[in-house]
Amino acid sequence: MNTIIEPFRIKSVEPIRVTTQRERQKLIKSAHYNLFGLRSDDVIIDLLTDSGTGAMSSAQWAAILNGDESYAGSPSFYRFEAAVKNLMPFVHIIPTHQGRAAEAILMSIYGGNGKNIPSNTHFDTTRGNIEASGAHGHDLVIAEGHIPDNLHPFKGNMDIKRLDAFLQKYGNSVPCVMTTITNNAGGGQPVSLENIRQTAALAKQYGKPFIIDGCRFAENAWFIKEREAGQGSRCIEDIVRDCFAVADGMTMSAKKDGLGNIGGWLALNNDDDAELARNHLIRTEGFPTYGGLAGRDLDALAQGLAEVVDEDYLRYRIQVNQYIVDRLDSIGVPVIKPAGGHAVFIDARAWLPHVPSLAYPGQALAVALYEIGGIRACEIGTVMFGKQPDGSEAAAAMDLVRLAIPRRTYTQSHADYLIEVFEELAKVKDTLLGYRIVKQSKLMRHFTCEFEPLI
């Protein structure tokens, strides 16, 4: 069979409210042209994020009823801990309410003024937590990772030579080395097992702990299985275990490959660091056997971790992205190739060459997608990364628009509708003007900043 179907049936449905273009023009204007400001029931297809927006399985909902809400020592925690350790063999598993809480705790240990933390590419919340601690984040992805149509199979790889030079240059100011799998901010591109091992070896050589931001570990493992020499016949669980076996810790948003609507964790091997982390956790999240989550959430995640490594699921998951990328490519929309794991990325700078980066071509494209088709996407470019530590503004490495695909939520016909919206957009794209920011916060401005259209 060539058709890769959704490997599930639908037991419960959520209606979508269909709006008109005229309504949407008013709605986005009153949200100050920031898509985060919209009400989600004013959105037809919500591709803002794949975070926590997936559909849980009937087995996960059943697990929710088994949740034990004891404050300390809940069996839900031990089921959760066992499910994590089955895939990621770390000594200490510390639950948090989401990934950023795990990052904040990690940075309370490793961050601080004058510290320098390298990664392939830090995600925005990771960078936010690093900077809030006074440290600096550095992105050392391979050069191919910045070339939208370069077909390198592992465009999320760390540039090992640059990392070596970095570690020499910054020496004692480097508290740890990180890597993000898959590389979300860099296009959902995977990192090879070989590259993870090389990064780990280099970190070890310099005596630095190696921490994986593992939000999309299962999608990354699928790419390793598909693309890396010698990995094709191995099972996903074993590939996942190999990735984490060389790390000293991980941060996780279980809203991604935990298949949960909420949750996360910090894992560490070092006992002293784990004690510091748990003390911080008790102050900010909760007791170490629930860490900001309800017992039922921990059970939903334990079940989610068993489902996310299923090969039928992962094949379908990656195929959806491939399908959208191929169709957009065939109608001339510049997309990041090869397709990433959780999202499709449009190169807005290339598609709207008449809009300069400092007028935010990604924002112009994202707003137009909403107005024309009710599709909510996310700018990942100069709005998100353009503000410099000194307050000035510079073009980001790329101006992308991300169509993040929620897990197990939309169907093939939603994908076909999306392509049609792009066909409509192609007819008017040359008339799109950019935006200026009229109000913004100091950190992570993209969530709340207000825009005005340039006329």
**Closest distance of CB 107 from ligand PLP, Å:** 12
DSSP H helices in 331-439 = 348-351, 361-373, 382-385, 412-428
Contacts of residues 245-249 at CB distance under 8 Å and 24 or more positions apart, as own/partner, are: 245/89, 246/196, 246/197, 246/200, 246/201, 246/210, 247/90, 247/196, 247/200, 247/210, 247/211, 247/212, 248/176, 248/209, 248/210, 248/211, 249/90, 249/106, 249/209, 249/210, 249/211, 249/212, 249/273
Q: Does 407 bind ligand PLP (CB under 6 A)?
A: no
Cβ 214 to ligand PLP shortest distance, Å: 8
126 contributes a contact to ligand PLP by CB under 6 A? yes
* Angstrom distance (rounded) from CA 400 to CA 320: 19
Does residue number 261 form part of the binding site for ligand PLP (CB under 6 A)?
no
Tell me the window of 15-23, 67-75, 98-106, 420-428 that interacts with ligand PLP (CB under 6 A): 98-106
Q: Please, which residue, 8 or 447, has the CB nearer to ligand PLP?
A: 447
180 binds ligand PLP (CB under 6 A): yes
Segment contacting ligand PLP (CB under 6 A): 225-233, 235-243, 248-256, 396-404? Answer: 248-256
Asked whether the beta carbons of 140 and 146 are under 8 A apart, the reply is: no
CB of residue 184 vs ligand PLP: minimum separation in angstroms?
4
- 121 scored as a contact of ligand PLP (CB under 6 A): no
d(CA 13, CA 408): 12
Determine the distance from the C-alpha atom of residue 24 to the mean position of all C-alpha atoms in its chain, rounded to a whole number: 27
For ligand PLP, the closer CB: 33 or 244: 244
If the CB atoms of residues 352 and 398 are measured against ligand PLP, the closer one turns out to be 398
DSSP 28-45: HHHTTT-GGGS-GGG-SE
Among positions 190, 209, 249, 264, the unique one binding ligand PLP when judged by CB under 6 A = 264
Residues numbered 64 to 93 that lie near ligand PLP (CB under 6 A) are: none
How many binding residues for ligand PLP (CB under 6 A)?
Answer: 15
Of 416, 424, 373, residue with least CA distance to 21: 373
51 binding ligand PLP? (CB under 6 A): yes
- Identify the three-state secondary structure at position 350: helix
CB of 230 to ligand PLP, least distance (A): 27
Contacts with ligand PLP, residue ranges (CB under 6 A): 51, 98-100, 123, 125-126, 180, 184, 213, 215, 253, 255-256, 264
